Amino acid sequence: MDITWDMPIPSGPKMVLLSLCDNANDQGECYPSIGKIAARCSMSERSVFSHIDWLEQRKALYRENRKGRSSIYHLTPCKFCTPANSAPTEKVSPAPANIAGTPANIADAPANIAPRIVTQSSLEPSTNLKTLSSPQNGEEEKLQSACRETWKSYSNAYFNRYQTEPIRNASVNAFIKTFCKKIPHQEAPHVAAFYVSHNDKYYLQKTHHPSLMSKDAEGLRTQWATGRTMTASKATQLDRTANNLDSVNQAIEMMKARKPNATV
């Protein structure tokens, strides 16, 4: 973490890297979800993805992707290499001859560094985030947790049905988040799996895309809760039955009007 504080990089990537360092074990490995990183850094998941890509390109970390689970991040900030155009304000190191000739200046460096380390230790990301925690942050964390569980449930059901992994991108993440906002968080994963098993013709034509799940969230939840799956063909059949029943009732009323004493 001390190395990360001293890295000449923009604030966004630095905040993400500090959060990863705060979660890492002694081997420099951690596997927090993107949602957790976003919540801790007070930024969007899209920004987190972008900053992680930026850090990986510069060898400050590398990812180990895992199927159906969060990635493992291997932190290597000591290998960080800054392209010439990414740190325009970096000072040029003096020539070896000048360094050799000024041992007194070099000896003074530790005294200058010491107080800066003390200042940095008070800026631990985890400490600041705990101080800034609020009920709103707690609700957002619950929503992010529901989104993670819902995607996991949807992804597993999708793979079982289509024998391939569903595509996940920024748009899909937005659909999952909207879906989880519309129904109780604890029910969202179950309704997502129910949706993928749904045999409605329109859902099948669209290979159970998350956009339809988000659009029909309330109706899908009702079908899941009642155990009554509604398809287009079943809806048409029920409509015809209702119309036929209305016609029979109308005929009965007409007969009663003509013959009040008649028994039907």
Whichever domain contains 28, its CATH number is 1.10.10.10
What does the pLDDT look like over 206-217, one tens digit per residue? 999 999 999 999
Which pLDDT score, from 0 to 100, does residue 138 have? 83
Q: Which residue has the tokens 């360094």?
A: 99
Distance CA 81, CA 62 (A): 14
Which domain, by its residues, includes 53? 1-82
Distance CA 38, CA 165 (A): 24
Query: For 162-186, what is the mean pLDDT?
Result: 94
Which pLDDT score, from 0 to 100, does residue 250 have? 74
Could you tell me if 83 and 58 are in contact, meaning their C-beta atoms sit under 8 angstroms apart? yes
Q: Is 74 helix (H, G, I), strand (E, B) or coil?
A: strand
Distance CA 238, CA 230 (A): 10
**Is 233 part of a structural domain of the chain?**
no
Based on the structure, what is the number of domains in the chain?
A: 2
60-74 CB burial, b ≥16 within 10 A, e <16: bbeeeeeeeebbebe
Distance CA 117, CA 175 (A): 44
Radius of gyration of the chain (CA): 30
**Is 208 part of a structural domain of the chain?**
yes
Which pLDDT score, from 0 to 100, does residue 103 have? 45
- Using 50, 70 and 90 to split pLDDT, how confident is the model at 180? very high
Which pLDDT score, from 0 to 100, does residue 264 have? 52
For the record, the structure tokens of 144 come out as 């992010």
**Is 119 part of a structural domain of the chain?**
no
Instruction: Name which of 66, 33, 28, 67 is nearest 49 in CA terms.
Output: 33
- 141 and 78 in one domain? no
Higher pLDDT, 183 or 264: 183
Which pLDDT score, from 0 to 100, does residue 263 have? 58
Distance CA 15, CA 5 (A): 9
pLDDT value at 257 more than 60: yes
Spacing of C-alpha 147 from chain mean position: 6
Which pLDDT score, from 0 to 100, does residue 90 have? 39
- Using 50, 70 and 90 to split pLDDT, how confident is the model at 238? low
- Using 50, 70 and 90 to split pLDDT, how confident is the model at 260? low
Query: For 41-62, what is the mean pLDDT?
Result: 93
Distance CA 37, CA 70 (A): 12
**Is 252 part of a structural domain of the chain?**
no
**Is 104 part of a structural domain of the chain?**
no
- 143 and 70 in one domain? no
Q: Is 200 helix (H, G, I), strand (E, B) or coil?
A: coil
**Is 63 part of a structural domain of the chain?**
yes
**Is 42 part of a structural domain of the chain?**
yes
pLDDT value at 46 more than 70: yes
pLDDT value at 3 more than 80: yes
**Is 102 part of a structural domain of the chain?**
no
pLDDT value at 219 more than 50: yes
